[in-house]
Amino acid sequence: MIATELNIENLLPTALSDSARVWIYQAESFLSVKEVEFIRKSCEQFIPAWQAHGKNLQADYRILFNRFVCLFVDESAQNATGCSIDSSVHFIQTLEKELGKSLMQRTQVIFFDDEKEMREVDMNAMSGVIDSETTVANNLVKTLGEMKSDWLIPAKDSWHARML
C-alpha cells in the first residue's frame, strides 16, 4: 500500500461553494485503473446532464483514493430535488452493475494507520483495530465545507465513536 496524503482540500472541487451538497459512495474494494477510468467517463457524461425540474444542476464529481465516488451539487443556483437525487442513485446503481462491484458499501470502515496507509475493517470488528485517535472516513458529511474539515477525522469526533 502507498501512504495517502490526508490533506484533501486540493483534491476537491474549487468552483463550488462550501455549502454544496455531497454524496459519498464507498466502493467495496479498491477500484482498478480501468474501473476508475470507466467511472470518470461515466461521470463526465452524467454530471453535465444532471437536472432538477428541467434545469441543469451546478455539479461536479471526484473519485478519491480509488475507493470513493463523490457527487457534489451547488444548490445556490438550483436545488437538488427528490427526482434529481433519485437519478444520481440510479446512476450509481448503473455503475455498480457495469462494474460488478458495490459502490454503496456501508459495513466497511475506512481508516488510516500510523503510516497514513488506507485500511478497512468491518464495522462490527472495529474494537481493538481503531482507537479514538485513528483517522477515519466520515462518509456522513453533507456539504463540501464539511468534507474539507470533517471527512477525514479522528474516530472520537465522528459517528464511529459510538462503535469503539
Let me know: does 99 contact 30? Beta carbons within 8 Å.
no
Rank 21-35, 72-86, 119-133 by mean pLDDT and report only the highest. Answer: 21-35
In the predicted model, is pLDDT for residue 3 greater than 50?
no
Question: What pTM does this model have?
Answer: 0.92
Q: Residue 21 belongs to what H/E stretch?
A: strand 21-26
E strands within 49-90?
51-52, 55-56, 58-64, 68-74
Q: Is the dihedral of CA 151, 87, 120, 67 positive or negative?
A: negative
Q: What angle do CA 56, 37, 103 make, to 5 degrees?
A: 75
- Over residues 136-146, the mean pLDDT reads 96
Interatomic CA distance for residues 112 and 78, integer angstroms: 36
Q: What is the pLDDT of residue 43?
A: 98
- The domain ranges of the chain are 18-99, 108-163
pLDDT band at 2 (very low <50, low <70, confident <90, very high): very low
Mean pLDDT across the chain: 92
Interatomic CA distance for residues 158 and 152, integer angstroms: 9
